[in-house]
Amino acid sequence: MVVLKAFAKINIGLKILNKRPDGYHNIETIFHRVNLCDTLELYEYDKLDLEIENANLPSDDRNICTKTLKLFQNSFGIHLGIKIKLIKNIPIGAGLGGGSSDAAVLLKALPEFFHIEVHNDDLKKIAQQLGADVPYFLENGSAYATEIGNKLEYFTLKLPYWIITITPPIHISTKWAYENLKNTIHEGNNNLKYLLLNNINNNNFLRENIINDFEQLIFQEYPEIKSIKEKLYHYGADFALLSGSGSTVFAFCKDEQLIKKLYETFKVNNFVSITEPYFEI
C-alpha cells in the first residue's frame, strides 16, 4: 500500500486579466498550500477501482482521479490494475483545489507504483490536460501563476500568520463564476508576488491591494459568504479574502488566541481548517 497526502491551496489574490481566444481567461494569482489534505491510498489490484470516503462523488470517468489514471495508462501502454481509496477532507467546489491536488499527487506516484520511468515534462503534459490548476500541485512550494494559471514561478513564502479557512455548505461552479464575471480593469504593473513579499507585515496594504476579482460577483449572489469576510474583520483578522472562485474565505491572523476564537465561532455552520504560521510543503 502507498499512502499519499494531497494538500489544499488558497489563492492569495486573483486578478482576471482578459478572456483568451480559446475560451480560457488569463489570470494572475499566488497559489499557497494550507495544512488541510485529502488522503489517497494505492493498492495492487486485479482491475481499476476507485473507492471514495467522506464525499458523494462519482467513481467513474467523471472523477478526476479516474481520468488521471486512465490518461496515464493510455499514455504509457499500461494495463495493470490498481485500487485507489480516496479519503476526502477538502471541501468540494470551495476554491481550495482539492480535485486538482488529488490528481497531481496521484499522477506523481503512478510511475513508481507501476515501476516505470517517466520524465517530469511528460507528467506536466498530462497534468495540463486534466485542468488548469493541476500542474501547480506537481511541485512543492508557493507559486506566482499567470496565463491560465499554468505559467508557474515557484518561490518560498514564509507567512508569519495563522491561516484559517472557512467554507460554508455552498458549492460554486468555476464555470458559472467565469461565465458571469464582468470585465475587470487593472492598472499598473506591480505583480502580486512583489506586492505580497514587500508588504507581508502591512495588513492595511494587503487589504487594499491584494484583491480577488470574483468577490463582487460571489458576494452579490451569496451574501452569506460576504458576511463571513465581514465577521472576520469585525473580530480582528489581519487580512481576509475569498479563495479562487469558490465559497471559501480565508484569513491571516498573528494572534493565536484570536484564531482559536474564530475556529469556535465559525465551526458551528461551516467547515473550518487552521494552518500554523510558516507552514510549507
Q: Which residues are catalytic?
A: 9, 133
In one letter, which amino acid is 211? Answer: I
Name residues whose C-beta falls within 8 Å of residue 82's C-beta, 6 or more positions apart in sequence. Answer: 42, 43, 44, 45, 48, 49, 69, 113, 114
3-state secondary structure of 252: strand
d(CA 249, CA 95) in angstroms, rounded, equals 9
Give the pairing type, strands 162-167 and 249-253. antiparallel
In one letter, which amino acid is 165? Answer: T
d(CA 30, CA 136) in angstroms, rounded, equals 10
In one letter, which amino acid is 93? Answer: G
- Cβ neighbour number for residue 44 with a 10 Å cutoff: 11
3-state secondary structure of 135: helix
For the record, the C-alpha cell of 236 comes out as 480582528
Strands, E, within 102-248: which ranges? 142-146, 151-155, 162-167, 239-242
